[in-house]
Structure formats: C-alpha cells, structure tokens
Amino acid sequence: MSTVYVTGASAGLGRAIADAFSARGDAVGIIGRDEEALAAAAEELGSRVAWAAADVADYQALEAAADRIAGEIGPPDVWVNNAMVTVFSPFADVTPDEFEQVTRVTYLGGVHGLQIALRAMAPRGHGHMIQIGSALAYRPIPLQAPYCAAKAAITAAVDALRCELIHDGSPLQLTTVHMPAMNTPQFDWARRHVAHEPQPMPPIYSPAACARAVVHAARHPELREVWVGRSSVQAILGTRLIPANMDLLMAKRAYDGQFERPAEKADRPGNLFAPVAGAHRALGRFTDRMRDRVRWIGTSAIRERVVYGVLALLVLLLWLD
C-alpha cells in the first residue's frame, strides 16, 4: 500500500480521488482551504487519513501542511495535484485580481505541489507525481480564459519537469490526467460575471468514475498522460488536427452550452478567494445527467512507438501494392 497526498481534497474530484485511494487501503493525506470540511472528510475516510489546511497558492503554507501530514502518516509515495478555481466570465470582464488568483491557485499551486513532492521523494529514490489536468488545457473554450490558460501552463510545466527527470535518470514518475466535464460542486461555487447558472459541457461524468482513472495512473506510473472520457480524446485530437475548425465549433457550442438556466443576477463572488460556506461534497447538482462509467486512454513512449510503427507498416504495405 502507498501513502497518497491529494490537494483540493475536501470536495468534488479531489474528494472522490481521496475516497478511491482510501478504498484500496492506502494511507491518504488530504489538503484544502477549509478546516471544517477537511475534518469532516477525514472522519468519513477512516483511520489511515491525515489532513491539514492550506491554500496551495501559498508555498510556505502548503509545505507546512505536507510536513504535518508526513508526521502523521509518513512522506508521500504519490502526490496528486488537484486544487483549482475558475471564473465564468467574458474575457474583458475578468479583473486583473481574478486572473491572478486563478493563476496562483490552478497554475502556481500545481507548481508548488510538484516542488514540495520532489523534495520529499528525491531523497528516498521513489515517488509518483500526478497532475490533474483538463481537456481545456489543449482545447480552450470561451468564458473560462483564466482557467484554460492556467491548465495549459501547468501542463507545460509538467512536460518540462518530465524532460529533466528523464535527463537526470531520476526514478521519480510524473503523469498528467486530463479530465472531462464532471458533476462537481464547482458550478455552484465558481465566481461568475454572467446572468446564467453554469453547467458542465455534456457529456457529464461522475467524479468517482474519473477518480478511478487517477488510481489507474498510480498503478501505471509509466504513463505520460491519461485522457479521460470520449470528450477529452475528441478535444485533444481535434485541436491537434483541426485547430481553426475547433475554434469555430467552440464558438458555436461552448458559449451557450456552459449554461443551464438564467440566474437572478450576473455577479456571484464564489470560492475564488475563500472557501464557500456549507457542506462540502463530491457531487454537484447534475446527478440525474451524469454517467457513472468512463473510459480513458493512456499515452507513453512505448505506446507511441507501437502506434506509429503500425501506421508506418500500413503505409508501406499500401505503397508496395
């Protein structure tokens, strides 16, 4: 069994990830901003769990939280970077402070987690860092520019770090798991500057199903990335092959498609700068529309060679004919 740390673990996908690792018998350390929510989550997770409150945007606070957890259940074998915030708003209406905060949490929070995990894992010569990404890192959509940019940035940082680990012959592993739309409380909590209630872009998956993809990644540390859900695969491959047409498609479908119904007012402060009050949970309000099963694709150097080898063979056979 392993010791697994999860950031952003008091609700949503992070809570589901903590549940999934705890269910397989791992010791789990959970980190988030809300002490009350973390304590409640820890009580439900069981005995092999520790928690510490910290804002991932604050490096010193996150490091102190990791040290506290290490003192209770030991250093991390697996570190899952999951914390995020977003803003639903036209680009021009996002304030500089809001852009900065999304960047600090969703991008720099991931960087902080990677650096702290590296320093905990390197002296022991083993460890696996898992960054929760998003299909939106490859295929940005309207009305979430800060979040899309932050997810693209952390994906680039992970790729740069991976190259360094390979160059140095490091035994540490690094995987990004790109997620589709999920039924989490994010859509009730996120800050917005639009007079509509946001919703996940269908298809909508359960966080528990997507958490199983993270456990799969932990079991297969050789994987470079894991693309979760048909929509993620379509978004990533579509952007690589036909980016201009994907722009047109997103302009047509992803603007109105992100909203469920009109809201009473346009502005909602949300959880951008502080946790929201009330019960924290894994599921959002879209349970009647979510899918409990999801498929994923894992990428690696070996798999790429096999795929391109088969394609090259097919081209050769067609040419010989």
- At 203 the pLDDT is 95
pLDDT average, residue stretch 164-174: 98
Does position 164 have pLDDT exceeding 80, yes or no? Answer: yes
pLDDT of 321 strictly over 60: no
pLDDT of the residue at 302: 82
Residue 33 in tokens = 């901003």
Average pLDDT for the chain: 94
Q: What is the pLDDT of residue 264?
A: 82
Kindly report the pTM of this predicted structure: 0.94
**Is 147 tagged catalytic?**
yes
Task: Summarize pLDDT for 268-278 with one digit per residue, the tens.
Answer: 999 999 998 76
Share of the chain above pLDDT 70, in %: 95
pLDDT at position 65: 98
Rounded Cα distance, 145 and 94, in Å: 9
Question: Among residues 5, 107, 138, 147, which one is catalytic?
Answer: 147
Least trusted range by pLDDT, from 56-70, 103-117, 203-217, 290-304: 290-304
Domains and CATH numbers, the chain: 3-320 (3.40.50.720)
Mean pLDDT of 11-25: 96
Q: Are strands 49-53 and 128-134 parallel, antiparallel or unpaired?
A: unpaired
pLDDT at 255 over 80: yes
Please check the confidence at residue 169 and state whether its pLDDT lies above 70. yes
Q: How much is the pLDDT for 320?
A: 62
Question: What's the average model confidence in pLDDT over 154-168?
Answer: 98
Is the CB of residue 287 less than 8 Å from the CB of residue 207?
no
